[in-house]
């Protein structure tokens, strides 16, 4: 175990609570992370805190201890709320701690749709049973339930629950519009929602509930992260996308996505090779070796023209494949498409 303690880890957590002085909490948090040599991202707001940090096992452990003894979180945060995975400080380029309006960017004022109006939390065991029931009903062509992935398309692409509905959205801030445009779909349904660590469901379920069309809204407590600890070979197949330099963590051997160029099974993301582009691309080693390393033909072309010809600064711009992406897809979901467990 000694060798193991040298290995670091990455923590993921959030806590909704009333923060009177976000600026003060932000300064304290920054000092704490610097003191423990942690890297990562922490968002502070008047509605709480949301963070993912990496460092040595000793440091992450001290971090948890300190967070649990902080009077602000004492009654709301518990050890269970910290999800951990193998990693370390090297998983993030730096430390970023800031004050924001929301601890997860949904783009809706927390005063209007509050985390306090959230759906019913299900433990991984309860969620597992619900999904099992949902899949068996769906296979008989019946059912009044929707299993909803409220992450982004590039996350669900490499791993998701069998039989889920995964919106083709690029940012969580598009989720409310997605709900608005597809209200018919949710009418009188029981909705089982899930995301990476549970935080997007807190506000997402509150938003869905505010529309008053669903029969019930449930969410997976602790997200896919906690589910995989209990059911590494359960109904979630493929990798779990994470927002750091690892891109994905793995709990089963399934590969459910394909190389963008040749279609061979592949699920390891790289950043598009074109300097101005921030898209992620699935391109297998074979295609990489052929120089196919960009997210779309336009970027591949630009890459070849080498962007240094300009002023030398990198420009962040949307490329062809982003522009073509419909911002909010309208679902034409027959019960059939849900059944196939696409």
| All structural domains of the chain with their residue ranges | 8-99, 120-241, 258-304
What's the pLDDT tens digit per position in 169-200? 999 999 999 999 999 999 999 999 999 999 99
Whether residue 195 lies in the annotated active site: yes
105 pLDDT higher than 60: yes
The DSSP call for residue 287 is H
44 within 8 A of 26, measured Cβ to Cβ:
yes
Q: Determine the length of the chain.
A: 342
Q: How far is CA 205 from CA 98, 118, 212, 232, in A?
A: 25, 5, 11, 25
**For the domain 120-241, what is the CATH superfamily, name and number?**
Rhodanese-like domain (3.40.250.10)
What's the pLDDT tens digit per position in 149-158? 999 999 999 9
Element (H, E) at 145: strand 145-149
Q: How confident is the model at residue 306, as a pLDDT?
A: 52
> What average pLDDT is seen over the chain?
89
Q: How confident is the model at residue 34, as a pLDDT?
A: 98
Q: How confident is the model at residue 2, as a pLDDT?
A: 40
> How far apart are alpha carbons 182 and 177 in whole angstroms?
8
Catalytic residue among 15, 91, 150, 195: 195
Does domain 8-99 fall under CATH 3.30.70.330? My reply is no
């Amino acid at each position: 175990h000694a060798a193991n303690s040298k290995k670091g880890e990455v923590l993921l957590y959030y806590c909704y609570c009333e923060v009177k002085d976000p600026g003060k909490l932000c300064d304290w948090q920054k000092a704490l992370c610097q003191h423990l040599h942690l890297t990562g991202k922490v968002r502070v707001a008047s509605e709480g805190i949301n963070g993912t940090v990496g460092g040595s096992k000793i440091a992450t452990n001290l971090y948890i201890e300190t967070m649990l003894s902080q009077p602000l979180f004492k009654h709301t945060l518990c050890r269970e709320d910290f999800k951990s995975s193998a990693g370390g400080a090297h998983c993030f380029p730096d430390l970023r701690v800031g004050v924001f309006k929301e601890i997860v960017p949904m783009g809706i004022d927390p005063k209007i749709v509050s985390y306090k109006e959230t759906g019913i939390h299900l433990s991984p065991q309860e969620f597992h049973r619900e999904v099992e029931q949902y899949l068996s009903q769906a296979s008989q062509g019946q059912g009044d339930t929707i299993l909803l992935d409220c992450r982004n398309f590039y996350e669900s692409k490499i791993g998701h629950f069998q039989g889920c509905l995964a919106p083709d959205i690029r940012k969580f801030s598009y989720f409310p519009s997605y709900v608005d445009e597809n209200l018919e779909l949710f009418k009188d349904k029981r909705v089982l929602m899930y995301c990476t660590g549970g935080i997007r469901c807190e506000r997402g379920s509150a938003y869905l509930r505010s529309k008053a069309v669903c029969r019930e809204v449930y969410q997976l407590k602790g997200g896919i992260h906690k589910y995989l600890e209990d059911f590494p070979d359960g109904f979630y197949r493929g990798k779990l996308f994470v927002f750091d330099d690892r891109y994905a963590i793995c709990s089963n051997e399934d590969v459910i996505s394909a190389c963008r160029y040749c279609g061979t099974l592949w699920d390891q993301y790289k950043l598009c090779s074109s300097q101005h582009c921030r898209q992620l691309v699935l391109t297998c080693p074979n295609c990489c070796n052929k120089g196919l390393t960009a997210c779309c033909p336009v970027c591949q072309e630009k890459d070849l023209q080498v962007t240094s010809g300009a002023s030398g600064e990198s420009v962040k711009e949307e490329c062809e494949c982003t522009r073509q992406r419909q911002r909010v897809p309208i679902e034409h979901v027959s019960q059939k498409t849900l059944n196939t467990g696409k």
